[in-house]
Every structure is written in structure tokens, then in C-alpha cells.
């Protein structure tokens, strides 16, 4: 059972990068440090095993290990979402069981990355996995990045058929997400991503928040906290500060792994080692990340004071 009500899930949630050592093994210390930094800047939730975590490069055992680590390091401080990756219903349900066992608060279902099928097949697939758990479930709808997705109407139908499918993790432009908000009557909590592109407009159309890799997450948290308390001028200042880096790194998922991960590492004092196959950064891109790092500074809490959101206090003291 989730420790957090869906109604209380909001804000900026960090989706972890997969950090490897120089032998291409998952680096326990670096992964722990990543969680500590994200919690330290005031994220409203934690997540792992999505596209940023390179779940397709991880073995089944490694995905379970990441679940164990993030649950231990988050310690129930904020809601924890785990993305479920797998090529079959049985494989995904096995991942669901492990996520439940470590204390996940909600699950994000990805379409199986095998074949190309019609919407009805994906709706049946998602429904069978969702029926296997009592946890709140979200659908990851990222057709631009995954080559598979559902329309706003199809997602609305899926939600009606399966009551515990209660959220959507989108990866799309505001104009498309607005259609989903309309199709669901504004009743379905939606978290967008895309590294924070169009962040404030996502909030204006009714997104509950964003799930972002941690390279600029301190500025995103500060922008969100300012926005929800009505200070759009302050929110815009923080958003403008992060935007050049966001535009540069969000040129595609492999580009984000090559450059966004390195920007995070620069700001966090860590070192990046890729797991092959990978897009290798070039000198021009690395120089850009160095400039962004110099402009953004180390990861740190940037919000000013305690803020109210729908009756609960978000503690954001410096």
C-alpha cells in the first residue's frame, strides 16, 4: 500500500541516472550520492528505472538492485515511483512484485519494447499488469522517444477500465499534453518530463508536476515552489537560468545520457563512465557542459522559505 495519497503527489520528482564505475558496473556510492543531492535540493518525489536510468541496459537483477538502493536511500522521505520494464506481462508483474516489496509508492508502466502493435494490444497489456497490484499506477506515454504510445482518448478509456491507473507520465510538448488534460476532464494527475522544456506552461495547463533527470533539478524545484505560491516572476528567473542547459541536453535520450549526465556529474562532483553501447561525447559538447556548470554552480537548495501547496507545507528553507 502506498504511504502517500495520489492527491498529495505533486511537484518536481527526480528520475535517477544510472551511474557506472570504470568497469561499467553500477556504482553504489555514486547512486547513493545522487539520491542525497536530490533530497537535499528539496525534490517532491524520487523515481528510477525510466529512460534516464537506461533500464534497457540493465539486467533483471540490476533493475531489482536499483529498486533496493533507491528505496533504502530515499527512506520514505518523499513518494517513490519505480518504472516497470519488461517484454512480457509475466516479466513486468515480477518487477511489480519486487517494487512492492521495497516499498514503492506508485508504479510507472512502460510499453514492452518489442514489436509494434495497435492501441488495443497495449491497452490489454497495461490492464493485465495494473490488475496485478493495488498500488497506484501510471502509464508512461512517450511515443516520440519509445516509438509506442496511446492517444489521449485511448488513455482516458484505459483509466476508466482500470481504477488503479491513476496517473500519466508524459513526454510531450504542452500542446499535446493539453489534449490529454482535456480528454480526462482535468481529473487525471499528469507529470510531464522532457528535462523541463516548457516547464511553467506545463504547470499552467494543469500538470501536477514534472519528473526530471537531476542535472538542473535544483532550479526546477525553486521554479516550481515559486510558481505554486503565485510568484511567477521568481519562477521565471529560475526557469530562465536552467533553460539553456535544458535545450542543449534534451536533443534525444542518447544525447541526454551523453551530456545531461555529465552536466549533473560536474555539478555533483562525480565522474561519468558509460556502459557500452553509448553515444560518446565530443570536445564541443563537453566544453558546453563546462560552461553550463560554471553558470549554474554546484547543486544546492535554491528555494527561499516555507510554501503552501493544497494545504500541506513544503519546507524549502535555504
Q: Domain coordinates of the chain in residue numbers?
A: 8-217
pLDDT at 102 over 80: yes
Q: What is the pLDDT of residue 310?
A: 36
The answer to whether the CB of 187 falls within 8 A of the CB of 167 is no
Q: What is the pLDDT of residue 185?
A: 81
Q: What is the pLDDT of residue 285?
A: 98
User: Per mean pLDDT, which range of 89-93, 134-138, 154-158, 181-185 is the poorest?
Assistant: 154-158
pLDDT at 139 over 70: yes
This prediction's pTM:
0.91
Q: What is the pLDDT of residue 144?
A: 54
Mean pLDDT within 154-178: 85
Mean pLDDT within 241-249: 98
Mean pLDDT within 135-156: 72
Q: What is the pLDDT of residue 309?
A: 38
The model's confidence at residue 143, banded by pLDDT at 50, 70 and 90, is low
**If you average pLDDT over every residue of the chain, what do you get?**
90
DSSP H helices, the chain, are 28-40, 60-74, 89-102, 119-130, 143-146, 152-161, 174-183, 199-204, 217-228, 232-249, 253-255, 261-268, 283-296
Q: What is the pLDDT of residue 148?
A: 57
User: Per mean pLDDT, which range of 113-117, 215-219, 312-316 is the poorest?
Assistant: 312-316
The answer to the question of whether 314 is labelled as a binding residue is no
Q: Distance (Å, rounded) from C-alpha 120 to C-alpha 118? A: 6
Q: What is the pLDDT of residue 318?
A: 34
Nearest to 220 by CA among 201, 200, 206: 200
**Sign of the CA dihedral with 139 first, then 111, 15, and 194 last:** negative
Mean pLDDT within 166-179: 88
pLDDT at 147 over 80: no
The model's confidence at residue 146, banded by pLDDT at 50, 70 and 90, is low
8-217 fold: TIM Barrel (3.20.20)
The model's confidence at residue 263, banded by pLDDT at 50, 70 and 90, is very high
Q: Distance (Å, rounded) from C-alpha 282 to C-alpha 106? A: 38
User: Per mean pLDDT, which range of 100-104, 172-176, 285-289 is the poorest?
Assistant: 172-176
Residue at grid coordinates 542547459: 245
pLDDT at 314 over 80: no
Amino acid at each position: 500500500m502506498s504511504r502517500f495519497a495520489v492527491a498529495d503527489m505533486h511537484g518536481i520528482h527526480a528520475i535517477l541516472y544510472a551511474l557506472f564505475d570504470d568497469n561499467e558496473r553500477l556504482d553504489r556510492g555514486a547512486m547513493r550520492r545522487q539520491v542525497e543531492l536530490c533530497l537535499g535540493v528539496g525534490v517532491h518525489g524520487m523515481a528510477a528505472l525510466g529512460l534516464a536510468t537506461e533500464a534497457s541496459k540493465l539486467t533483471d537483477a540490476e533493475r531489482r538492485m536499483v529498486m533496493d538502493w533507491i528505496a533504502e536511500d530515499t527512506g520514505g522521505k518523499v513518494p517513490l515511483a519505480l518504472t516497470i520494464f519488461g517484454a512480457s506481462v509475466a516479466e513486468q508483474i515480477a518487477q511489480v512484485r519486487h517494487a512492492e516489496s521495497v516499498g514503492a509508492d506508485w508504479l510507472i508502466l512502460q510499453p514492452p519494447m518489442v514489436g509494434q502493435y495497435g492501441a488495443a494490444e497495449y491497452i490489454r497489456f497495461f490492464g493485465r499488469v495494473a490488475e496485478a497490484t493495488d498500488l497506484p499506477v501510471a502509464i508512461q506515454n512517450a511515443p516520440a522517444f519509445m516509438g509506442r504510445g496511446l492517444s489521449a482518448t485511448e488513455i482516458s478509456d484505459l483509466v476508466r477500465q482500470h481504477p488503479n491507473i491513476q496517473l500519466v507520465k508524459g513526454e510531450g510538448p504542452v500542446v499535446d499534453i493539453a489534449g490529454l488534460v482535456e480528454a480526462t476532464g482535468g481529473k487525471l494527475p499528469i507529470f510531464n518530463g522532457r528535462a523541463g522544456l516548457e516547464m511553467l506552461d506545463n504547470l499552467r495547463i494543469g500538470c501536477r508536476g514534472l519528473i526530471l533527470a537531476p542535472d538542473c533539478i535544483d532550479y526546477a524545484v525553486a521554479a516550481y515552489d515559486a510558481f505554486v505560491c503565485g510568484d511567477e516572476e521568481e519562477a521565471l528567473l529560475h526557469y530562465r537560468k536552467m533553460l539553456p542547459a535544458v535545450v542543449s541536453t534534451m536533443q534525444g535520450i542518447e544525447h541526454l545520457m551523453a551530456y545531461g549526465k555529465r552536466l549533473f556529474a560536474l555539478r555533483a562532483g562525480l565522474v561519468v563512465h558509460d556502459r557500452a553501447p553509448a553515444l560518446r561525447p565530443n570536445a564541443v559538447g563537453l566544453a558546453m557542459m563546462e560552461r553550463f556548470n560554471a553558470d549554474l554552480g554546484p547543486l544546492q537548495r535554491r528555494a527561499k522559505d516555507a510554501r503552501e501547496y493544497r494545504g500541506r507545507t513544503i519546507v524549502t528553507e535555504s
